[in-house]
Amino acid sequence: MAYEQKDGDISVFKNNKKETEKQPDYTGTALINGQKMKVALWVKEGQKGKFFAGKIQEDNYRPQSDNMKPISDALAQQVDNDLPF
């Protein structure tokens, strides 16, 4: 039987694809109030020893820069109609 994440559960795994220090050491998911969230954790060293520092954000989070705004459906349809394929 496959594992089914329940509300309040967090699952994290070692990030075996880490290429830079900015990427998290561990990644995973959490289920909070029925909303799937992404979890990122870094191993840090402090006065009391090693600890985890992290971020949690909506699973569908996509940062937007100030100069990138979503296009309207009408404009998207116009662009689609102008494409030669």
Domain ranges in the chain are 10-82
- C-alpha distance from residue 83 to each of 37, 73, 75, 76 (Å): 36, 16, 13, 11
Give tens-digit pLDDT for 35-68.
Answer: 999 999 999 999 999 999 999 999 875 555 555 5
Instruction: Note the pLDDT of residue 75.
Output: 53
CB 30 within 8 A of CB 9: yes
CB 29 within 8 A of CB 38: yes
Instruction: Note the pLDDT of residue 83.
Output: 46
Q: What is the pTM of this model?
A: 0.66
